[in-house]
């Protein structure tokens, strides 16, 4: 019965990592995409200024990504426990 606990814990931790990390990552990627599109449009119109550095992650996004990474690490640990259980 214990072997299934490892697998269940891995599934829960993996799902938690996805649910916590995906909104933070997609928000950052969407902001980067919008900034790049605006920069291309201004360059096309001949009004491009200095290139701005890549957008930074907000502290909330960094925290969510750190929690997601920790949950993913726990999921990998549980998978190792599942496969190495006698």
DSSP 10-48: HHHHHHHHHHHHHHHHHHHHHHHHHHHHHHHHHHHHT--
Does 55 score more than 80 pLDDT? no
Q: Work out the pLDDT band at 47, boundaries 50, 70, 90.
A: confident
Q: Work out the pLDDT band at 34, boundaries 50, 70, 90.
A: confident
- Look at the block and give the residue holding tokens 């190792």: 80
CA distance 11 to 13: 6
Q: Work out the pLDDT band at 51, boundaries 50, 70, 90.
A: low
> 9 exposed, middle or buried (CB, 10 Å; 0-12, 13-18, 19+)?
middle
As for how many domains the chain has, the answer is: 1
| Domain limits for position 49 | 2-84
31-35, 37-41, 49-53: which range is least confident on average?
A: 49-53
């Amino acid at each position: 019965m214990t072997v299934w606990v490892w697998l269940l814990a891995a599934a829960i931790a993996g799902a938690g990592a996805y649910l916590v990390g995906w909104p933070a990552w997609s928000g950052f990627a969407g902001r980067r995409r919008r900034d790049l599109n605006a920069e291309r449009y201004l360059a096309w119109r001949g009004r491009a200024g200095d290139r701005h550095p890549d957008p930074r992650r907000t502290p909330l996004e960094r925290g969510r990504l750190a929690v997601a990474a920790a949950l993913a690490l726990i999921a990998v640990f549980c998978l190792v426990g599942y496969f190495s259980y006698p």
